[in-house]
């Protein structure tokens, strides 16, 4: 900018006078602002806004423009971000590097927009702020149009934006949604740089694409092969942005195919499918339906399809299916392809490769291989159920059958009867799958060791074992360890065993439904059942549904139990309040008010019951705290050689008062009636009005 004679005259006269006045008066105004800051709450945004207005209206422009004035206030309030912000927004020293650096250093993203024209055009200042990554600096407002065409500055701006994505929010019907928004540097670039290919390439090749809108940046270069190549190497799924000419360019297609083969296979033009180099690069992403009939007859392409794209043999022309190399690669990829190569079902090499890939492929081989031990061993190792296709001789072979059951225990079904009675084989089978016990011989289904191994894995197999084993207490206990419902498969003798039934209801309360009548009458079992599942009360006899302990325990576990307790207990306020101790707003755990006795419903509304239950719970918590405090003091007395007499007296007083306090609470709950409460309140209000209240 040209320095005129007018500027020189101003500097020599008025400018120097103003600077002199500002320097002289700065301390006075700093003190005045300090006093104002002391009066306000730094967390109150309205008050900090008033501070900004105070500085703007009460402090002269020359003082606000003074570097010393602004720096002093900003540094003094470094720990008070709202005060600093108010001072920064009232700042007139917008052409001072030190002041603006101090502001940007502590400002948040896009919090401060004003900077003097002099600094917006100062390349060194702008570069310094960008390199320091000051969050308050905004690349749109704080860089002049002239510098937006400066390559060095805007490259640094790209790097700065990359590390500083903006967190913005939208308020939609009181629902705030936060979004991490990219910085669209293209809108901030000067026209010269927007069309500078070297600059665009440098940005694309850098790691700036985390937050920059590169898609918009390359808008003018979608037909430029060099730019699009660089861009697609990092963003292959943006292939659609390329011009029609480049979409049909082999080099561009190869870049996309290498990075995203499945995506490229779908979107690159059919014309490029004629190129084998591209097909090789696509590999598993080849779109079979884009290939011509002639291409499918090509052995090289056929091999690529069965190896990479896992295309089934039946999708290839008949002629190519007669090529052993193609068939061999196909069955290696998927053994079941042997079904579509009938001319190779007697080829040992092909069959062996097929069963290694899929044991069940033995079904499609020549019958002579089902009696080939080497091939059948490979088949059962891959899939034990391929034993189903083995010859009678190999089904009796312990080595083959053992390999099969180790892979799939249920393949025991296909072994010979003799091996179903082989303990070593059966125990390996049930180790792999507990359900294999279903196929064991009757003798081994009665073997405690084998049965125990099976029920350890899955208690449900209790249903598959012999009646003798269902009467074995140890086996039944193991079966119900994790799921008491399995007790239903036990013998009646075991169901009559209290210890076993108790173990069952502890893991599955509803198991009491399978208990004999005399055990359902047992209060200990009933309590454990409703403890695990409150609705187990449904299966209890009337005498226990009328038991207060059982009813309260059941309701505590599941409020639905309130519906199944006796009519007498539905009229017991203590039991009813247990139900109303549940969360009032929990729809699924809300007591059914209608099942209560008419007497209770006449006295209390639902809200009354919820309120009483809440008050009762609070009093009980208070009593528990008092008791815990007493026990702590007693413990201290027992463990200490000396304790202050006042402390002993205090603990004794608490101990004697605690039971009385608890009794008073219980009495209040039992006698509480809405009418009486209102009378008591009315009496108190009258006594206050007459001045009789102490």
pLDDT tens for 372-412 read 999 999 999 999 999 999 999 999 999 999 999 999 999 99
Q: What is the pLDDT of residue 583?
A: 67
- Give the integer Cα–Cα distance in Å for 305 and 320: 12
- Looking from the CA of 675 toward its CB, the CA atoms found within 13 Å total 2
> If we measure between CA atoms, which residue out of 378, 341, 333, 342 comes closest to residue 360?
378
Q: Are 33 and 70 in contact (CB under 8 A)?
A: no
Task: Tell me what pLDDT residue 398 has.
Answer: 96
Q: What is the mean pLDDT of the segment spanning 588-617?
A: 85
Confidence (pTM): 0.63
Q: Which of 252-266, 346-360, 514-528, 648-662 has the lowest mean pLDDT?
A: 648-662
pLDDT value at residue 338: 95
Specify whether the CB–CB gap between 236 and 263 falls below 8 A.
Answer: yes
Which of 103-107, 274-278, 488-492 shows the lowest per-residue confidence on average (mean pLDDT)?
A: 103-107
Q: What's the mean per-residue pLDDT of the chain?
A: 83
Across the range 514-528, mean pLDDT stands at: 93
Rounded percentage of the chain residues whose pLDDT exceeds 90? 49
The whole-number pLDDT of residue 627 equals 64
- Split at pLDDT 50, 70, 90, the class of 634 is low
410-441 pLDDT tens trace: 999 999 999 999 999 999 999 999 999 999 99
pLDDT value at residue 62? 83
C-alpha 662/C-alpha 622 separation (Å) is: 9
Q: Residue 465's pLDDT is what?
A: 86
Identify the pLDDT of residue 677. 35
Q: Does position 669 have pLDDT exceeding 70, yes or no?
A: no
Per-residue confidence band for 646, with pLDDT thresholds at 50, 70 and 90:
low
pLDDT tens by residue, 329-340:
999 999 999 999
Q: What is the pLDDT of residues 482-510, one digit of tens each?
A: 789 999 999 999 999 999 999 999 999 99
Write the CA distances from 411 to 385, 401, 408, integer angstroms: 5, 8, 6
Q: Could you identify the residue written with the tokens 């009378």?
A: 679
Q: Which two tokens stand for residue 682?
A: 């009315």
Q: What is the pLDDT of residue 609?
A: 86
Looking at residue 458, its pLDDT comes to 87
**Cα distance between residue 574 and residue 595, in whole Å:** 16
Rg of the chain taking only CA atoms, in angstroms: 43
pLDDT digits (tens, 9 = 90+) for 45-55: 888 899 989 98
Question: If DSSP states are collapsed to H, E and C, what string results for 182-247?
Answer: CECHHHHCCHHHHCCHHHHHHHHHCCCCCCECHHHHCHHHCCCHHHHHHHHHHCHHHHHHCCHHHH
CA distances from 681 to 292, 687, 690 (A): 94, 10, 14
pLDDT of 643 reads: 47
Overall average pLDDT of the 59-72 stretch: 87
| pLDDT for the residue 694 | 25
pLDDT at 650 over 80: no
All residues at 6 or more sequence positions from 449 whose CB lies less than 8 Å from its CB, including other chains: 427
For 613, the token pair is 């239950």
pLDDT in tens, 205-258: 887 766 677 888 888 899 999 999 999 999 999 999 999 999 999 999 999 999
DSSP one-letter code for 178? E
pLDDT at 104: 87
- Please identify which residue in the block is written with the tokens 């084989």: 425
DSSP for 99-145? Answer: HHHHHHHH--TT------HHHHT-HHHHHHHHHTT-TT--TTTSS-T
Q: What is the largest CA-CA distance in the chain?
A: 120
Q: Residue 466 has which token pair? A: 């012999």
Predicted pLDDT of residue 178: 47
Confidence of residue 582 (pLDDT cuts 50, 70, 90): confident
Are the C-beta atoms of 527 and 550 separated by less than 8 Å? yes
Cα–Cα distance list, 400 to 177, 310, 384, 426 (Å): 62, 30, 9, 13
What is the rounded distance in angstroms from the CA atom of residue 656 to the CA atom of residue 650?
10
Q: According to the model, what pLDDT value does residue 426 have?
A: 95
Residues 6+ apart with CB under 8 A from 394: 370, 371, 373, 376, 387, 400
**pLDDT over threshold 90, residue 682:** no
Alpha helix segments (H runs only) across 581-643: 598-603, 606-639
Nearest Cα to Cα of residue 261 among 213, 298, 210, 304? 304
Residue 662 has pLDDT above 80, yes or no: no
- Taking alpha carbons only, the member of 281, 236, 229, 280 closest to residue 259 is 236
Q: Looking at residues 449-464, what average pLDDT do you find? A: 89
Q: From the CB of residue 294, how many other CB atoms can be counted at a distance below 10 Å?
A: 10
- Percent of the chain at pLDDT > 70 equals 81
Pairing of strands 175-181, 166-172: antiparallel
> CA torsion angle for 421, 425, 430, 435 (degrees, to 10)?
-50
Cα 611 to the center of its chain, rounded Å = 37
pLDDT band at 687 (very low <50, low <70, confident <90, very high): very low
Taking alpha carbons only, the member of 485, 616, 621 closest to residue 552 is 616
Higher pLDDT, 675 or 303: 303
**If pLDDT is split at 50, 70 and 90, which confidence band does 638 have?**
low
Say what the alpha-carbon torsion angle 587, 591, 593, 595 is, to the nearest 10 degrees: 130
For 12, residues 6+ apart whose C-beta sits below 8 A from its C-beta are none
* Helix, strand and coil percent figures for the chain, each rounded to 5: 70, 0, 25
Cβ contact 341:321 at 8 Å: yes
Residue 190's pLDDT band, with cuts at 50, 70 and 90, is: confident
Q: How far apart are CA 344 and CA 365, in angstroms?
A: 8
pLDDT higher at 644 or 96: 96
Q: Taking phi first (over 0 means left), then psi (-120 to 50 degrees means alpha), and beta for anything else, what does residue 182 get?
A: beta
């Amino acid at each position: 900018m040209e320095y005129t004679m007018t500027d020189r005259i101003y500097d020599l006269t008025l400018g120097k006078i103003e600077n002199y006045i500002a320097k002289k008066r700065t301390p006075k105004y700093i003190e005045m602002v300090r006093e104002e800051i002391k009066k306000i709450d730094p967390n109150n945004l309205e008050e900090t806004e008033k501070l900004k207005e105070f500085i703007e209206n009460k402090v002269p422009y020359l003082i606000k423009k003074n570097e010393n004035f602004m720096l002093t206030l900003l540094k003094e309030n470094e720990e008070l971000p709202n005060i600093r912000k108010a001072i920064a927004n009232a700042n007139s020293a917008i052409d001072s590097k030190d002041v603006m650096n101090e502001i940007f250093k502590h400002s948040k993203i896009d919090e401060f927009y004003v900077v003097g024209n002099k600094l917006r055009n100062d390349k060194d200042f702008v570069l310094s702020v960008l390199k320091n990554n000051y969050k308050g600096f905004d690349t749109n407002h704080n860089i002049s149009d002239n510098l937006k065409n400066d390559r060095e500055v805007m490259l640094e701006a790209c790097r700065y934006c990359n590390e500083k994505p903006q967190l913005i929010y939208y308020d939609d019907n009181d629902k705030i949604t936060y979004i991490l928004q990219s910085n669209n540097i293209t809108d901030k670039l000067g026209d010269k740089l927007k069309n500078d290919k070297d600059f665009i390439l440098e940005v694309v090749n850098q790691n700036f694409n985390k937050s920059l809108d590169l898609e918009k940046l390359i808008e003018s270069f979608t037909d430029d092969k060099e730019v699009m190549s660089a861009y697609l190497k990092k963003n292959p799924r943006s292939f659609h942005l390329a011009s029609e000419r480049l979409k049909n360019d082999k080099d561009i297609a190869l870049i996309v195919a290498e990075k995203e083969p499945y995506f490229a296979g779908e979107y690159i033009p059919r014309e490029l499918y004629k190129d084998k180099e591209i097909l090789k690069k696509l590999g598993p992403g080849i779109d079979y339906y884009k290939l011509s009939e002639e291409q499918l007859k090509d052995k090289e392409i056929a091999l690529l399809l069965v190896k990479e794209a896992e295309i089934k043999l039946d999708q290839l022309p008949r002629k190519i299916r007669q090529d052993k190399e193609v068939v061999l690669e196909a069955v290696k990829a998927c053994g079941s392809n042997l079904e579509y190569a009938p001319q190779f079902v007697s080829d040992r090499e092909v069959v062996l490769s097929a069963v290694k890939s899929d044991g069940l492929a033995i079904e499609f081989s020549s019958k002579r291989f089902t009696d080939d031990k080497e091939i059948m061993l490979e088949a059962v190792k891959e899939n034990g159920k391929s034993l189903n296709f083995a010859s009678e001789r190999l089904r009796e072979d312990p080595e083959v059958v053992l390999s099969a059951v180790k892979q799939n225990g249920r393949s025991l079904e296909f072994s010979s009867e003799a091996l179903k009675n082989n303990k070593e084989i059966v125990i390996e089978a049930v180790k792999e799958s507990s359900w294999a016990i279903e196929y064991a011989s009757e003798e081994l289904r009665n073997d405690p060791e084998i049965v125990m191994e099976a029920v350890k894995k899955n208690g449900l197999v209790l249903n598959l074992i012999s009646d003798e084993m269902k009467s074995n207490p140890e086996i039944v206990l193991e079966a119900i360890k994790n799921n008491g419902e399995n007790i239903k498969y036990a013998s009646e003798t075991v169901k009559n065993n209290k210890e076993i039934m108790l173990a069952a209801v502890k893991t599955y309360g509803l198991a009491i439904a399978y208990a004999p009548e005399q055990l359902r009458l047992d209060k200990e079992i009933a309590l454990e059942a409703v403890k695990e599942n409150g609705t187990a009360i449904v299966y209890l006899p009337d005498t226990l549904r009328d038991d207060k302990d059982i009813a309260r325990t059941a309701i505590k576990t599941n409020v639905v139990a309130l519906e199944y307790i006796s009519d007498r207990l539905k009229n017991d306020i203590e039991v009813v309040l247990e139900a109303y101790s549940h969360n009032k707003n929990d729809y699924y755990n809300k007591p059914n008010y209608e099942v209560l006795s008419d007497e209770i419903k006449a006295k209390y509304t639902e809200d009354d019951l919820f309120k009483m239950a809440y008050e009762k719970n609070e009093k009980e918590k208070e009593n528990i705290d008092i008791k815990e405090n007493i026990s702590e003091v007693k413990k201290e007395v027992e463990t200490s050689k000396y304790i202050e007499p006042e402390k002993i007296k205090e603990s004794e007083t608490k101990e004697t008062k605690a039971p009385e306090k608890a009794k008073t609470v219980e009495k209040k709950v039992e006698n509480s009636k809405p009418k009486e409460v209102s009378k008591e309140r009315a009496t108190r209000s009258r006594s206050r009005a007459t001045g009789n209240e102490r």
